[in-house]
Structure 1
Amino acid sequence: MARDIVIWPHKVLTSPTKPVTDFGPSLQKLLDEMAESMKEAEGIGIAANQVGEPLRVALVGREDGTFFEIVNPQVLEKKENVTLEEGCLSVPREWEKCPRFHKVKVRYQDKTGEWHELEAEGRLAHVLQHEIDHLDGHVFVDHLSSLKRTLILDRMKKLQKVKARQKD
């Protein structure tokens, strides 16, 4: 079942997440709910805190349209600065140019707890950085100028109020 996606600046999105220690059925249930939420929102990645769970786990979209989980990820290397157009499920309808890296090397666990290392570039590197940022308590607007961030913040606070009224 899909969960609601949390809108920035909700506290769960601005705080670092906790490491995953339980690789049992509850992790698989969370991954399934995250996948449903991401599919409904037509996303290419989602972090657990975007559905309200402060855990260090995310789903990352590959170029071929498939997804894989990253649990307790660490960025080991970043190379070649690049600026890319970026949006976010937790900052809907906002797109801005964001500084990232063209290549990254990431160490992470899968849903069984097994460790992997991945060297990625291009779109995959971009999605990995975006989702790991979420797990570290950052959203892409943190990389923008204070003026752009303030303008987007005002729009997101209005959106949060509209969503709250719709639930009542």
Structure 2
Amino acid sequence: MARDIVIWPHKVLTSATQPVTDFGPALEKLLSEMHEAVIEAKGIGIAANQLGEPLRVALVGREDGTFFEIVNPQVLERSEDITLEEACLSVPEAWEKTPRFKKVKVRYQDKTGQWHEVEAEGRLAHVFQHEIDHLDGHVFVELLSSLKRSLIQERMKKLQKALKRKKD
């Protein structure tokens, strides 16, 4: 059974994550747990802080169903505004049109510490931006109007309470 996904506005989702410095077994274990959680949730990406781990690690889903394992990522370039439907495993059942960029260039380390650069476009660029935002302590609802954001936040607080009661 996969680890629980943290529901927004939990503090771990609103705080910037810490860079990874240890590329050993603990990182391998975390990546494995993240993979299990994203597959179980039928997601296309997940950040470590969505599992309560404040580390700069994420999985970004490719079209073929595999994932980029990105560690300490940085967005180097963004271009061409676009608005796409967006959702989040930490904000269940909230689909909203969200402003993003059509193209991005990202620099990241793999699980061995090697650096890579990738240029992404369309949906892949969208997922990179979404997951890197998580690592910076931001959730997509912050890009919405204050009314939409507050309505979603109320629903998520009710969900958090319901999940807490279910566990107790």
Number of aligned residue pairs: give it: 168
Match of 1:15, as an amino acid?
S
Instruction: State how 1:1-168 maps to structure 2 within 5 Å.
Output: 2-168=2-168
Task: State the alpha-carbon separation in 1 of the partners of residues 68 and 104 from structure 2.
Answer: 16
Separation of aligned partners in 2, 1:2 and 1:151: 29
**In 2, distance between residues paired with 1:97 and 1:68?**
24
Structure 1 gap ranges (5+)? none
Normalised TM-score (structure 1): 0.99
Shift in Å at residue 13 of structure 1?
0.1
| 1:88-126 deviations in Å (ceiling 9; x for gaps) | 000000000000000000000000000000000011100
Deviation per residue, 1:45-84 (Å, 9 max, x gap): 0000000000000001001111120000000000000000
Which residue identity does 1:110 align to in structure 2? D
Could you tell me how far 1:2 is from its partner in structure 2? 1.6
Which one-letter code corresponds to 2:93 in the other structure?
R
TM-score in terms of structure 2 length: 0.99
State the identity %. 81
- Looking at structure 2, the residues matched to 20 and 115 of structure 1 have their Cα atoms a distance apart, in angstroms, of 13
**Cα deviation code 1:31-57 (max 9, x no counterpart):** 000001111110000000000000000
Q: Please give the secondary structure, in 2, of the residue aligned with 1:42.
A: coil
- The amino acid of 1:72's aligned partner reads N
CA distance in 1 between counterparts of 2:120 and 2:160 reads 35
SS at match of 2:137: coil
State the alpha-carbon separation in 1 of the partners of residues 9 and 108 from structure 2: 27
Give per-residue Cα distances to partners, 1:7-32, cap 9 Å, x unaligned: 00000000000000000000000000
Runs of 4+ in 1 over 6 A off after TM superposition: none
SS at match of 2:104: strand
